[in-house]
Structure 1
Amino acid sequence: MVLVSAFRDGSAALRANPILLVAGLLVGAGSQLQYLDQVVDSPLVSAGASLGWLVVFPFVLGGFIGTARAAIEGTDTSIRQFVTTARTHYVRLLSATVAFLLIILGTAIGIGTVGLVFGIGSMALASIHEVAGFIGGVVSVIVWLVSLLVVIMFVQFYDAAIVIEEQSVTDSFRRSIGLVRANLTSVVGFSLMWTLLVNLFFIPEYLVQLTMTDAAPAEVLPVDLGVPVAVLLPVGIGLSAVGFAYFYTVYTAYYLRLISDAPLPTDAA
């Protein structure tokens, strides 16, 4: 089974190539920049760091996917190979990442506008029948969320298409959509399991995030952890490093198995 095999491939590659954890550490450190203002007490510095990370992330992602592929296939996984792969695909990945965010934002706004219309209708219905109005509102929110997740599912492989198959920005989205359509049941299962496991893995970090909000600890957690930010940040970095390294290695392994059954046409390679 492709799904189970991908998780096994990811685990084996990570054990045999600890260098993947180095890339994971870069991502882990970058993901914690959103909390920088709580350390330096400067929202402006934090915003600048977060924006800088959005620019740097495609570089790290490209290097990681290329290195993960090498680890899975048993070839070179050196730092030099990581940097070379990252540099080669950076411009396309950066452009595609911006396009991906615009697609998601556009979808959210578009479906949200339709949902707003239904929401207004639900409010009007609530004045006639309260339960029916409530159900209508809930259904509109569920439809919005599911529609957004479906769009994300169909375009999720754009980055792997760029790094692994040398696709252009536009063709990477087409390739992702084509692969999902051809393997819909498998991709739905993979997406659900991958997302569930990622979120389970990051539960400790989510708790860390809650303790760093402006709310009092007792309002977000049943107990006060009493752990300072200087300790919480390294914990978040460590969790993100291991989680990213493993789950994106699995992601790469899954993509490699998908394209082995659906290679590019000769004239499109």
Structure 2
Amino acid sequence: MVLVSAFKDGYAALRANPILFVAGLLVGGGSQLQNVEHLIDSPLVSAGASLAWLIVFPFVLGGFIETARAAIEGTDTSVTQFLTAARTHYLRLLLGTVVFVFLVLGTAIGLGLVGFVLGIGSMALAAIHEMAAFAAGVGSLLVWLLSILVVIMFVQFYDVAIVIEDQSVTDSFRRSVALVRSNLKSVAGFSLVWVILLNAFFIPEYLLQLTLTDAGPADVLPIDPGIPVAVLLPIGIVLSAVGFAYFYTVYTAYYLRLIDASPVSTESV
């Protein structure tokens, strides 16, 4: 089974190449920049930190994916290789990340407007039948969320297509869509398992964000874990580093197995 094999490949590659944890640590530490706003009362500094992370992340991602591929294929890995790959693919990954964000946001906003119109209809329906109006509202929300997740699933492989197959930005999205369409059941299963397990490693970070905001963990969880920020922050960094290193190695391994069965069919633009 491709899914299980990818997770095994990721474990074997990570165990044999600890250098991948270095990139994971960069991501784990960098992801905490989103908490700067709560730690430092300065919107300008917060905006600068978030922008800096958006700019730096594609650099780290490009180097990581290439290094992960070398580790999976059993070839030599090094810091030099990481930096070279990061520089080589940086501009395309940065542009691809911007396009990805706009695609997801565009879908969310576009469907949100449709949902707003339907919401007006639900309000009118509420005057006739409250339960039917409630069901219509919940249904619209679920359709909105599902549609966004479907868009993400179809374009998710743009980054590995750029690094592994040297695709252009446009062709990387075409390649991702084509691969998902050809392997829909497999990709859907992999994406579900991958997202659930990855997010499990980010639980301390989520608790940290709740702790730093006005809404504490007790407002979301049935109990307040009572873990101080000084403990949550390092735990969040370490688990984010391990989670990123392992699951993005698995992600790369899965893509390599997909393209073995689906040769390139798009032409660079």
With the shorter chain as reference, the TM-score category is over 0.9
Runs of 4+ in 1 over 6 A off after TM superposition: none
**What's the TM-score, normalizing by structure 1?**
0.95
1:117 offset after TM fit, Å?
1.4
Q: Does 1:161 align with 2:125?
A: no
Cα distance in 1, alignment partners of residues 169 and 104 from structure 2: 16
1:198 offset after TM fit, Å?
1.4
Cα distance in 1, alignment partners of residues 221 and 188 from structure 2: 33
Q: Deviations over 1:220-242 (max 9, x none)?
A: 44555444433322221111100
User: Could you tell me which residue of structure 1 aligns to residue 178 of structure 2?
Assistant: 178
Cα distance in 2, alignment partners of residues 14 and 265 from structure 1: 31
AA of the residue aligned to 2:142: I
Q: Does 1:102 align with 2:126?
A: no
Contact 2:37/2:45 (CA < 8 Å) preserved in 1? yes
Q: Which moved more, 1:193-202 or 1:67-76?
A: 193-202
Cα distance in 1, alignment partners of residues 173 and 199 from structure 2: 25
User: Could you tell me which residue of structure 2 aligns to residue 214 of structure 1?
Assistant: 214
AA of the residue aligned to 2:166: E
Gaps of at least 5 residues in structure 1 are none
User: Could you tell me which residue of structure 1 aligns to residue 192 of structure 2?
Assistant: 192
User: Could you tell me which residue of structure 1 aligns to residue 138 of structure 2?
Assistant: 138
Q: Deviations over 1:44-80 (max 9, x none)?
A: 2122111111011000000110111011001121010
Cα distance in 1, alignment partners of residues 111 and 242 from structure 2: 35
AA of the residue aligned to 1:24: G
The 5 Å alignment of 1:46-61 reads 46-61=46-61
Contact 1:59/1:87 (CA < 8 Å) preserved in 2? yes
The 5 Å alignment of 1:1-269 reads 1-216=1-216, 218-265=218-265
Q: SS in structure 1 opposite 2:215?
A: coil
Cα distance in 2, alignment partners of residues 241 and 82 from structure 1: 17
AA of the residue aligned to 2:103: I
For the aligned residues, what is the CA RMSD?
1.8
Cα distance in 2, alignment partners of residues 142 and 220 from structure 1: 21
Contact 1:39/1:229 (CA < 8 Å) preserved in 2? no
Cα distance in 2, alignment partners of residues 175 and 266 from structure 1: 7
**What's the TM-score, normalizing by structure 2?**
0.95
1:55–1:135: structure 2 CA closer, same or farther, 3 Å change rule? same
Q: SS in structure 1 opposite 2:167?
A: coil
Give the paired residue count: 269
Contact 1:156/1:176 (CA < 8 Å) preserved in 2? yes
Cα distance in 1, alignment partners of residues 155 and 233 from structure 2: 32
Contact 2:210/2:216 (CA < 8 Å) preserved in 1? no
AA of the residue aligned to 2:263: P
Identity across the alignment (%)? 75
Contact 1:96/1:169 (CA < 8 Å) preserved in 2? yes
Q: Which moved more, 1:110-119 or 1:66-75?
A: 110-119
Cα distance in 1, alignment partners of residues 114 and 94 from structure 2: 30
